[in-house]
Chains A and B, each alone.
Chain A
Amino acid sequence: MAFEPVLTKGIGKLDLVDIEVYESQGGYQALRKALKQMTPEDVHNEVKKANLRGRGGAGFPAGIKWGFLPDDGRPRYLCCNADESEPGTFNNKMLIEYNPHLLIEGILLAAYATKAAQSFIYIRGEFKRGYETLVKALAQAKAKGYVGRNILGSDFSQEITIHRGAGAYICGEETGLLSSLEGGRGEPRIKPPFPAVSGLYGCPTVVNNVETLCNVPFIVDRGAEWFLSIGTEKSPGTKIFSVSGKVRRPGNYELPLGVTLRELLEEHAGGLLPGRTLKAVQPGGASSPVLLPEHLDIPLDFDSVQAAGSILGTAGVIVFDDTVCMVRTALYYADFFSHESCGQCTPCREGTAWTARILRRIEQGQGTEHDLEVLRSLKETMSGTTICLLSDFSITYLQSVLKHFEDEFKAHVHGRSCGLHAREVRSA
């Protein structure tokens, strides 16, 4: 039975950027419904009931997060996290570029439910096309009275400000995002206090991912029961899996949460390239530990993936086949994190650079057993010791490949080729 996509329906067939097309598909009906028939509490309750788990990586239920906002007279803010920079993750990009009104409608509903005074979209600086699309869509929505004062004749008013980042992965971390949005360096802040209590300009703030927010109009329109009927009991709804790496048809696939890895890869992503065998899969972006071929039948939902020793994260599914050198993958990520750390915390600033230096040496055949020991030990000093999770992220994948592909590291260390790629020219 072919699954009917929700968030991505019409993408590739209809020009949903055009507000009239979007409206013709039922767009802005949820907003109309909420403003006419529902109180903010009703909307909030529906989202809570639907157990909409955050799609930005942590899977934290949005309805519960919204409930943390204190009611103390300070203005509240809503920030849409559109900084998507995780390697192998590109579903937000698609939603923004091809279905921007869905996001705008989702933001409006979330703002309505949380009684936000003002909304912001913090969009990754490199998303030039997405930014232009959003600006255009927002102008249309304003012209039609969906954004601005007294929306659709109600008491509800909302402005949405689009802010472009300047190219830092760390600005996707919610408090780094807030620092950057305020005009400071994109540096995460110590939690607690959490943004819900003290966020943008010290006021209660909700930060939600693009995909999370895009689900809200459907929950409002079709109800929590409908949403709960998709996916698994604890991970309801759909998820857009971004599949990349060694598959025949990389791309975004919206499927119910709980779809098996096998189905995703074989039925949707076209399977492996001819003649290749599967080596490993990262199910949730750069930092997710590897799953192995033996895990092909696990359901891709938050809890099952965790039970298998990894994380669903951003659902950026990265596939490695037998031609891939795992030392190189580790080095690639180490370089990424040692470039993207904001640099505040000693373990992250120094540890990411050290990891990369060691891996580079190992990859070039100049590593030692001692290096492998050091790399393993870094787990203890780089996880759970810093302000945000980037430090942890930088080390989790490495630890998993050190464990599962130790032989490849040893092959590099002991000077033999791992056989998978031409060795870089060695320095003397």
Chain B
Amino acid sequence: MSQEMVTITVNGRQAQVPKGMLLVEAAKYAGIDIPVFCYHPKLDPVGVCRMCLVEVEGQRKPVPACTTPVADGMVVRTDTPVVQRLQRGVIEFLLLNHPLDCPICDKGGECPLQDQTFRYGPPQGRSLDPKVRKPKAVDLGNFIVFDQERCILCRRCTRFDHEITQEDHLVITQRAHENRVTTADGAPFNSYFSGNTIELCPVGALTSDIYRFKARPWDLARVPFVCTGCPAGCNVYLDFRFGELLRVISRDNPELDGGWLCDRGRFNYRYVHGEERLRRPLVKKDGAFVEVSWEEAFAEIARRLRQVRRDRGGAAIGAIGGGRLTNEEAYLFQKLVRAVFGSPNVDWRVGEQYIASSREFPGRISDISQASGILLVDLLPAERIPVVDLRIRRAAGRGRALLAAVGPAMPTYRPEFKAFPAREEEIPRVLASEELFELYRGRSRVVVLWSGRGRAVGAALAALLRRLKEAGSEVSLLIAGEQANAWGAEAMGVHPERLPGYAPVLHEGARRLVEQAWQVALPEGAGLDTARMLQRAAAGRLEALYLVSANLMATFPDRQLVEQALSKVPFLVVQDLFLTETAKHADVVLPAAAFPEKSGRYTAMDGTVQAVEQAMEAEGDALSDREIFARLAQAMGVRLYASDQELAWEMQHLAGAQDGRLAAAPAEMLAGEGEEEPAPAAEGEGLVLVPVERLYAGGGTAYFDAEFRRARPKAEARFHPEDAARLGIAAGAAVELAAGGVSQRYEAAVDRSVVAGTVQVPKGLFEAPANAFAKGARVAVTVLKPVAEEVS
């Protein structure tokens, strides 16, 4: 669609610009910069700071360039004495009571107020009055500290919070010079997106509690990177000072993040240097871990695995993990297992997700913004892929896209959405219903986001999407992985039934291709998936387990099974950043590099492959997973790959990527191959326990981060108001949930968004592991203490 163009003249220079464009943007076409404070290209213009006033021929008064659309023939001047006087005036006003903390201000050096004062401001202030003092360090929430003196009331923060997140935590209160930014009803500003306001703020008023007073911007060394917190694949810059990671900020990628980050990605980085990082390999001797050298650790693993292979065959070894690795590492992981350990048992799946991509219904994250229908299946996007949720909110908020959610827990949105509460086992039935089909039928662009949990759900989704496609819709299925690079791991063949590039492991031709490339014979048959490896191990029929960034105690839905497996398996290797609950069971613990310490490629949830270069030296003796795999293979007498080029060639040959995107899983994988888990028996008394993801709950990176830890959710059980009333539960009461011999203590909360008849608890909380309960358990609720004790 070609845009109608108009001609404008700015300071005598002509330019062709799209009709209706805001003057502030259009002036750039003529090479003219108009200074702004309140205007921001990602926010609706409000025209309050008055910094952008310019003269337009035929207009009596100066007009704000940020709210004025261009018209054909418009003649604009931004350099007249009048305009310059107004610019000086606005800056003089803004500086009247500004503290000029520049020497100690986080923003100093990258501060629009400084820069524009330098360029447009008056040479001298004229005020004779002392500056008005205001609060300097107001804690607005978990991560944001507000310096009210520095605030110039541009309202970018409140507009972001209103327009982009639609959460309305931040408000302007009072009138006139008493105007100030605060939170609605004094509630904490604990949005998952609060950190974006720091970057939007044109002064140093909103600061990061973690980065505050840590560095001068010009001293920071900046490295472009990709956030590895989730499969949204947001782009970031990592800022270092003397090799220390001090800050994470956004690096705008319109296709993925749209310039935003979530607070997990932005603030959960200090663990990289954390005390609790594993820095040396550990070997358990007489029940206690002893630090050893890498050589010793590798020698021990090699010795034990060779022994297993000799005595029981490679198939007695299991290997789990890969969703947090780079594509290269994931590839090498499965190669190590298959070619060096001689085992077919390798699986990336550490939780409930069974599939990470879908070739039949391709789509991109950016499609959400164009969607006319969005369907969420068994997914709380804000908790798993937060920045993607911002697109959903925008699309639904503008009334453009129909939004519906199916699943055991409902998301919260300001715009209306259709809720289809359904227990996990009921989801396929809802997906097959005519009601749902009719809802989306005829919508030109339908995007479905799904957790990837439940083969029956996958099959039902495939059927629904095919119908919609036949009815004329363009249909995409985006699967939000539990781990950041689930797609990469799956595509690289970290899968018991699939070789690299999804080739079926039993397919003769495919096997030959791999065997030729690797110059080894592949182990016989298909491998065991994660559940079966654990079952075997628990039954004493697996000799060794190798876990890579897989804290199964927290992630796998059946904690008892994991516990049995880990205690039973004769030899356990854990490769991770921290001594997790899982790692404590290990015989050998290998300290792996954290994300900034390694290079490689990550695959976002729409298949976009993004490369990063190592940004810092690894802490202690930690090694990248790639190096660990290579050196372990070496210790076992095999060279895993000769050179980076050879590795790249091999990966391209077996699991080729195209146009920067990895291929997705073929249709039959979605439809559900392998055996389905038996549906949980959810009949009987009590509330159905629904473990839900919480953005800050899961993962060692949150738990082992001294500066992020405080934001982690507490053990909280959420009840629907009706259930709470019936059971006599008040918000804040201490309750016990019990089922099948397991009981856990929670603090009660009452929340309308909880589906009646269910109780929600956070998933992955180390303090109260929800996976200790059987899947779909019905729990008995006992009130221990009617109202919570005051925390003193």
- A343 contacts B129, C-beta separation under 8 Å: no
Whether B90 lies near A387 (C-beta < 8 A) is no
CA distance A353 to B129 in the complex (A): 11
Q: Check A344–B48 contact: CB distance below 8 A.
A: yes
Interface stretch, picked from B173-181, B573-581, B777-785, is: B173-181
B residues near A339, Cβ cutoff 8 Å: 175-176
Contact A190 B67 (CB under 8 A): yes
Tell me if B61 and A352 are in contact (CB < 8 A): no
| Secondary structure type dominating chain B contacts | loop
Does A349 touch B at the CB level, under 8 Å? yes
Chain B 279-312 interface residues, beta-carbon cutoff 8 Å to A = none
Task: For chain A, residues 316 to 354, give those with C-beta under 8 angstroms from any C-beta of chain B.
Answer: 338-347, 349-354
In the complex, are the beta carbons of A343 and B90 less than 8 A apart? no
B50: A residues at CB distance < 8 A: 345-347, 385-386
Q: How far is the CA of A318 from the CA of B313 in the complex (A)?
A: 104
Check if B86 sits within 8 Å of A343, measured CB to CB.
no
B89 touches A342 (CB 8 A): no
User: CB distance B94 to A350 under 8 Å?
Assistant: yes
Query: In the bound complex, do residue B96 and residue A350 qualify as a contact, i.e. CB atoms below 8 Å apart?
Result: yes
A346 near B93 (CB under 8 angstroms)?
Answer: yes
Name B75-97 residues within 8 Å CB distance of A.
85-86, 89-90, 92-94, 96-97
Given the interface pairs A347-B90, A370-B128, the reply to whether A190 lies near B176 with Cβ below 8 Å is: no
- A371: interface (CB < 8 Å): yes
The residue on A at minimum CB distance from B177 is A353
Interface of chain B residues 555 through 575 with chain A (CB within 8 A): none
Segment 158-202 of B: residues with Cβ below 8 Å from A: 172, 174-179
> Are B129 and A381 touching (Cβ within 8 A)?
no
Among A342, A350, A352: residue with most chain B CB under 10 A: A350
Given contacts A346-B50, A385-B62, A385-B86, contact A338 B93 (CB under 8 A): no
Q: For the complex, what is the distance from the CA of A163 to the CA of B610, rounded to whole Å?
A: 57
The size bracket of the interface on B is: 35 or more
A179 within 8 A of partner (CB): no
Shortest CB distance A193–B (Å): 11
* CB-based contact A342/B175 at 8 Å: yes
Q: Is B127 an interface residue (CB 8 A)?
A: yes
Contacts of A384 in B (CB 8 A): 60-62
CB of B176 within 8 A of CB of A341, answer: yes
**A423 contacts the other chain (Cβ, under 8 Å)?**
no
Q: Is B126 an interface residue (CB 8 A)?
A: yes
Contact assessment for A338 and B89 in the assembled complex, using a CB-CB cutoff below 8 Å: no
- Residue A358, interface by CB 8 Å: yes
A358: chain B residues within 8 A (beta carbon): 128-129
Q: Is the C-beta of B223 less than 8 angstroms from some C-beta in chain A?
A: no
Which residues of A are found within 8 Å of B152, using beta-carbon distances?
Answer: 346
A353-385 CB mask vs B (1 if < 8 Å, else 0) is 110011001000000101100100000110011
How far is A344 from B128 in the complex, measured between Cα atoms in Å? 24
Residues in B with CB closer than 8 Å to A345 are 48-50
Complex CA–CA separation, A341 to B93 (angstroms): 15
A346, B90: Cβ atoms closer than 8 Å: yes
In the complex, are the beta carbons of A354 and B93 less than 8 A apart?
Answer: yes
The reply to whether the CB of A168 lies closer than 8 angstroms to some CB of chain B is yes
Which residue in chain B gives the minimum CB-CB distance to A390? B176
Q: Does B448 contact A (CB under 8 A)?
A: no
Please state if A340 and B175 are interface contacts (CB–CB under 8 Å): yes
Give B454 Cβ to nearest chain A Cβ, in Å: 43
Measured in the bound complex, the distance between the Cα atoms of B61 and A385 in whole Å is: 7
Is A350 a contact partner of B93 (Cβ separation < 8 A)? yes
The answer to whether B93 and A343 have CB atoms under 8 Å apart is no
Which of A340, A341, A346, A368 contacts B51, CB < 8 Å?
A346
Closest approach, in angstroms, between the C-beta of A197 and any C-beta of chain B? 15
Query: Which residues from chain A contact B93 at a C-beta distance below 8 Å?
Result: 346-347, 349-351, 354, 381
Interface hits, A376-405 → B, CB 8 Å? 380-381, 384-387
Q: Are A387 and B47 within 8 A (Cβ)?
A: yes
Nearest CB of chain A from residue B171's CB, rounded to whole Å: 8
Does A185 count as interface, using CB distance less than 8 angstroms?
A: yes
Task: Compute how far the CA of A351 lies from the CA of B46 in the bound complex, rounded to whole angstroms.
Answer: 19
Contact assessment for B48 and A340 in the assembled complex, using a CB-CB cutoff below 8 Å: no
Q: Is the CB of A385 within 8 A of B47?
A: no
Instruction: Give the docked Cα–Cα distance between A345 and B153 (Å).
Output: 9
Q: Are A346 and B85 in contact (CB under 8 A)?
A: no
B735 lies within 8 A of chain A by Cβ: no
Contacts of B61 in A (CB 8 A): 384-385
Residue of B at shortest CB range from A366? B128
Assuming the contacts A361-B129, A381-B93, asked whether A349 and B47 have C-beta atoms less than 8 A apart, the reply is no
How does the 8 Å CB contact mask read for A165-201 relative to B, with 1 for contact and 0 for none? Answer: 0001010000000000000010000100000000000
A350 to B86, CA, bound (A): 14
Closest residue of B by beta carbon distance from A391: B50
- For B177, list chain A residues within 8 Å (CB): 338, 341, 343, 349-350, 352-353
In the complex, the answer to whether A357 meets B53 with C-beta atoms within 8 Å is no
State the CA gap A354–B153 with chains docked (Å).
Answer: 16
Taken together as a complex, chains A and B put the C-alpha atoms of A351 and B709 apart, in Å, by 45
Expressed in whole angstroms, the minimum distance between the Cβ of B132 and any Cβ of chain A is 8
What's the nearest-Cβ distance from chain A to residue B441, in Å? 29
- CB proximity of B569 to chain A, nearest CB, Å: 62
Q: Are B176 and A381 in contact (CB under 8 A)?
A: no
Verify B90–A381 contact, CB threshold 8 A. Answer: yes
Q: Given the known A-B contacts A354-B93, A368-B128, are A343 and B174 also in contact in the complex, defined by CB atoms under 8 Å? A: yes
Q: Which of B47, B67, B86, B89 has the most CB of A within 10 A?
A: B89
Complex contacts, A371 vs chain B, CB 8 Å: 128
- Nearest A residue to B92 by beta-carbon distance? A381
| Nearest CB of A to B50, in Å | 5
Query: B46, B53, B152, B176 — which one has the most chain A CB atoms within 10 A of its CB?
Result: B176
A354 with B48: CB separation less than 8 A:
no
Q: How far is the CB of B117 from chain A (nearest CB, A)?
A: 13
On whether the beta carbons of B90 and A349 are closer than 8 Å, the reply is no
Find out whether the CB atom of A343 lies under 8 angstroms from the CB atom of B127: no
Residue on A with the closest CB to B180? A343
Minimum distance in angstroms from B59 CB to a CB of chain A: 10
Q: A370-B128, A380-B85 are in contact. Are A346 and B94 (CB under 8 A)?
A: yes
A353–B85 contact, CB under 8 A?
no
Q: A349-B176, A387-B48 are in contact. Are A381 and B153 (CB under 8 A)?
A: no
Residues from chain A with a CB closer than 8 A to the CB of B127 are: 354
Q: With a CB–CB cut-off of 8 A, which chain B residues contact A361?
A: 128-129
Residue A343 contacts which of B37, B96, B97, B179 (CB distance < 8 angstroms)? B179
Q: Which A residues are in CB contact (< 8 Å) with B51? A: 346
Contact A374 B126 (CB under 8 A): yes
A272 and B178 alpha carbons, distance in the complex (Å) = 39
- Cβ-neighbour of B176 out of A338, A347, A357, A370 (below 8 A): A338
Contacts of A374 in B (CB 8 A): 126
Bound Cα distance from A357 to B129, whole angstroms: 8
What 0/1 pattern do residues 138 to 171 of A give for CB contact below 8 A with B? Answer: 0000000000000000000000000000001010
**CB-defined A-B contacts under 8 Å, sample of 18:** A185-B172, A341-B175, A341-B177, A342-B176, A343-B178, A346-B49, A346-B153, A349-B176, A350-B93, A350-B97, A350-B177, A353-B177, A361-B129, A381-B85, A381-B89, A385-B53, A385-B89, A387-B48
Listed from nearest, the 10 A-B pairs whose CB atoms lie closest are A381-B89, A343-B179, A350-B93, A353-B177, A341-B176, A384-B61, A344-B48, A343-B176, A346-B93, A357-B129
Residues of B within 8 A of A (CB): 37, 46-51, 53, 60-62, 64, 67, 85-86, 89-90, 92-94, 96-97, 126-129, 152-153, 172, 174-179
Beyond the given A342-B175, A343-B179, please list 18 additional residue pairs across the A-B interface where CB-CB is below 8 A.
Answer: A170-B175, A190-B64, A190-B67, A338-B177, A340-B175, A340-B176, A346-B48, A346-B93, A346-B153, A349-B179, A353-B176, A354-B129, A357-B129, A368-B128, A370-B126, A370-B128, A385-B50, A387-B47
